[in-house]
Amino acid sequence: MARLDLVLDDIVQLRKPHPCGGYRWRVTRLGADIGLRCMTCEHKVMLPRATVEQRTKAHFDPEGQPKPSPNSENAS
Ligand SMILES: [Zn+2]
């Protein structure tokens, strides 16, 4: 089971865009549910961790540097 190593203020890119067109979300809360804020329109959502893990396409640290993803098969 792939597990995201999420840290507060990390950035995740989801597989589907928000209706505003934004793909990137800032992690604002960690727990059983993950709090995310759309970086384009500031909309906030709470999603179960499993849902976030399923929908995450790319993962970045707070500075926007890519983090290794357990889902990527070509990581060197
Ligand atoms: Zn948005």
Domain-located, residue 38: yes
CA of 30 to the centre of ligand 1 (A): 20
The pTM of this model reads: 0.84
Is the Cβ–Cβ distance between 48 and 34 less than 8 Å? yes
Domain-located, residue 51: yes
pLDDT tens-digit readout, 7-28: 999 999 999 999 999 999 999 9
CA of 34 to the centre of ligand 1 (A): 16
| Burial label, 9 (beta-carbon count in 10 A; 0-12, 13-18, 19+) | exposed
Rounded to an integer, the average pLDDT of 31-38 is: 96
With H, G, I as helix, E, B as strand and everything else as coil, classify residue 2.
Answer: coil
Domain-located, residue 22: yes
Domain-located, residue 31: yes
Domain-located, residue 43: yes
CA of 63 to the centre of ligand 1 (A): 20
Domain-located, residue 36: yes
CA of 32 to the centre of ligand 1 (A): 23
Domain-located, residue 73: no
Q: Number of structural domains, the chain?
A: 1
CA of 76 to the centre of ligand 1 (A): 32
Domain-located, residue 5: no
Containing structural domain, residue 29? 11-60
